[in-house]
Every structure is written in C-alpha cells, then in structure tokens.
Structure 1
C-alpha cells in the first residue's frame, strides 16, 4: 500500500535532521577490537559522583508520581547560587529544549535572529521553524569572533540575538570587555540570549559569565545553562534558563510542556549542584587534557582554534567527513562539521587520557 502523503509546514522545507552523531554501537563492527573513544558529543566522560547516583536511585523508586512541574527545590538552589529571583528560573529537558521553548515563545514569521557562525545548528533551526530569518555573524579571516559586526547587528532592533559563549563548535569566547560591549550595544527592544552550556570549562580572567551582569542590566537578557556537560548528566536531559525579565520567563512557561523535566533528572541535578568537588577535579583534568590535545594536533601541522569548551575545533586541511570516517577504523568517534565554509573542520571532545591518546595516535597514522 502506498503511504499517504501529508504536507508539513513550509518553514520546515529548508531544515535538516539534527546530526546527533554516532553511538558506540554504531561503530562497534568497524572498530576492529579497539576500545572505543567517543569524542563527538562533548560529554563529561568522568560521569556523575556517588551523591548524584544515590539521588537518582532514590527518585526512580517513585516512577508512578508526576515530577514537580516547577522543579521548586532545584529552582531554589539555582536561584541561590546565581543570585536571581527564583521566579526568574525556568527548567527544561536540556537547554536545547529551552531553545525550542524560547523560539515558540518570542518569534514570529519575519522576525530577525542574529547569531554567530559557525553555530550550534539548533540556534538557527528553531528560528527557521518559526519563519524567522537568521543573520549570521561569521568569523574573521584569522578565525576570531567578528566583534565589530556582532555589535553592529545587536544594536539594531532585531527580535533576538542568540549566541553561545563559549561558542560551539569553534570554542571561541567573548572576553569581559567584549561581553560588556555587547550588553551596551544591545537594542532595548531586542532580547539577548547567551547560551552558556560550557561555562564551567571557561573560567579565567579572560572570560566572564553574563550572570555576573544580570542584576544590573537594564535590557531583556536570558542565560541558558545545562547539566549535560560538566555535570555529566547528558543522558537525563535537564538544563535551565535565568532572566532579568519576568515577561520572557512567563512567555516561556506558557509554551513549555507542564512536566518538561523528569523526577530523576531533577533529583540528580540538585545533588550535582550541591556536591561539586569531584566535578571540579574532572574539569581540571579536562583543562589539562585540552592543552595536551591542542599541542599534539598542532605538532601534526593542524590548525587548532583556541577553546574555552571541553572540545577543540580542528582544521584537517581536507574534508573532515573523510577523516572522521577513517578514524572509526581506529575506534574513535569525532564530529565532522558540515556547515558551509567549515567542511574541513572537525570538532573533537576532550575525553579521558587514554581516549585522547588513541585519537592523537590515530590522527598521526591517518595524516
């Protein structure tokens, strides 16, 4: 029987399915007995600590009860640690869910969204889904953020300026002065959203989180964060947003699903926020390994962009999809970047020491 046809919304015509990357099972047959180094999804390979796992076990014992729709205990702790009013905290099924919620809450057909490029694809896709137009601010010829172009775009009355700081996939970041310049340039009728998914890996004198400016900023500002990266909870799908605008948070609450964070994720995230010693050790290890990987790749003659994430953006000098495919035979999974102009770049996560060694050794053989 011929399957029936049905027309989707025309705005979806230019979208592509999100590239979630390969799983360990996907490449097992080609790994030829190698241990598999999964370095494609920017996960924290150290995983959650004992306190988090205990909280998960306790929460899963009551699967028949709906979770708290407002995640009050978790929201209270987020408010305490960030200094925002708890009414200005919103939880989501990962920060990517909140990107979807944000688009549905604030964007109309024909609105303009400004973002950095190369970008996390969902920053663009959800805008396109709503019929908005996307203005990309590309990197300079020397592969730096084009601050002048970004400030000029943000100063216009666009509906939304949305960027990751640090950037995904490039790893680049706004310094404190650049962040302040962006906040000053923001048009008062525009919403500025900063995706700080990798903030825990960015700490240092040359980086500043927008959270530190939230209380004194007089224009609409939304900050998104996730428990998927440094906190090691990618499989549970939980993230949060904080804002200085009651209007923004209310609009997002109106369009999110009522129970958009499950009870196990809420319990795990709360434990993760209040037991951070082991996470700090894991971050320190990642930062050391990030330097070592960058040095190893540079020694192979490759260009590696500076990064404040738990990943590196590497120019292979050849189609990165082919390099990534050949790495599978060595038991290594990385993410070739497919956005136009960056097809020779791959994004590689910083893993455990043995994973990074396996990647570097495989790259040396391939190249």
Structure 2
C-alpha cells in the first residue's frame, strides 16, 4: 500500500499571545491552540479542499506541512518526510502558492524568475526549457512572460505564481487562497489548468480557500477545521446530507398549473408565469428527484426541469452550527 502524501497525527500547534493587563507595564500571557489535535491523511493523487473560517487554523496547518513551523506536539509527514527536519529535501517535492505572498522576483521579468527558480531546483537546462514552455502555453503567459512582475495585474501574477510552484513538477501542490481577488475569467482559467495538471501528471492537491467554486470544481473531498479541530471529513454531498441541506427542482410545465404545494417531501418556494414554472425544494435523504417527478406528473405535464445544488457557503455554515450544538450537548 502506498504511503499517503500527507499524514497528520494528533497535530498541535500553540502560540503564546501577550495582551495588556491594565496594570502598569504588565501583560497577560495566554496560550492559543491554533491547531488542536488534528488527525487526517491524504492519499497520493487526491484533491482535497481545506475549509474553515478565518482563524480556524488552516494557514497554520499548511505552514507546519511545509516546514515553516514546527509542531508543538503530534506528527506531520509530507511526501514521506518530516517537514522541519527535511525542509530542503521537501522543497523539491512540494509546490506552494500563498495568495498574499510572492515567490517571484519583483523587478525581474517573469521568465527570468523561472530561470532563477530552475537553478534553485537544479533542473537540467533542457528540462527547464521544456517545462517553462509547457507552463507558458497552458497558463497563457506568453503575452506578459517578458514583463517585470511588478507590472503584472493580480490575475497575471497569480498565474505566474502557480507556474513557478509547478516548475519542478512536484508531486504535491498546496494552494492557500490562490484565487483571492481574481476576476471570474482568471479564476476559470486557473481551475481548468489545475484540472489538466492533475490529469497529466497525477499531481496531488491540497486547497485551502473560502471560494466554494474552487472547492466544487477542483476537489472530491473536503476537510473542515473549526478552532483548530477537525469538524468534518468527507464529500460535499455527504456534508449537505449531514446538515439537511436542500436541493431545488425547477419545473417547466406544459401550461398554467395550480401551486404544487402538496407534493410529499417537498416545499414550494415560488410560482411564476401563471404556474407554468414552479420551484420545489427537498432534502435528498427524505425523497428523490425521480419520486418528486413521478408525483408532479400526476398533476401536470413536465416539459423540462433543472436541479439546483445547495449553496455551499450555507452548508458549511450549518455544519459549524451543528458542530457547536453537538459540543454543547457533549
């Protein structure tokens, strides 16, 4: 059995915070558990979303996995290595993008940054040239690859950051808020590229983000962390079922129809166009779309229908509330 690319066991990371005490030159000393007993693993080739509110412990976890911070207790292994102990070796197996920080040289053209990074990773000239051209093509960098980084737009710079992180073809890519501040077109371009890279190179992905569009498009599993603790580990569908999130069936009927407010297992949301368009919500664990369609068909002819998935931000919020309620009961 292949070892996981990330393996975390009872990981804790504490910080000491000093706050004014109200007395002359006195400060209170408080210990904060940024990461509090996390345990999870990620198989090689997987794509996992890492979610949580600001201050939940996401960035601290990533810094431990990269070797920037040492654990207070517990263990973390990345690409089979202890991150702090083997930080230099790990750097060759790992690509990281922090949305608010840059690994590019501010005054150098983007292509020159790639050359410097290629030398740092000790890539052969032919390998560097081939990989650089591949990334320029895949990420549409050609128009600005000779432009100094300081002159790039945010979207252009983020694409350059992702290319820099993948220049040495690492088996693991960690992204911390990579699409923050990007416009819709730039986000979509980046998502398509990351999907292609996983298909072409089998790259493992850990994505920490607040953008639910990124999570839906790029990952097949999510981890939710709350106050440093793991609150959920599973699929988006499983999370929606856990909190009772509703799907919405939008029905286009053959003609005006009375409000369908008596369909078992559903809730009528609204009626439009004299009743020829109606929206019904339902909880997937209580009934199915096929059963609803069968029941609706007894009252009206259905010409078309669409299904709207639950709002992911709302699903995550509900999970936090449910976890808090379970903690209070416990």
Instruction: Compute the TM-score of the two structures, normalised by the length of structure 1.
Output: 0.27
Larger Rg: 2
Higher strand share: 2
Larger relative contact order (Cα-Cα within 8 Å, sequence gap ≥ 6): 1
Instruction: Compute the TM-score of the two structures, normalised by the length of structure 2.
Output: 0.30
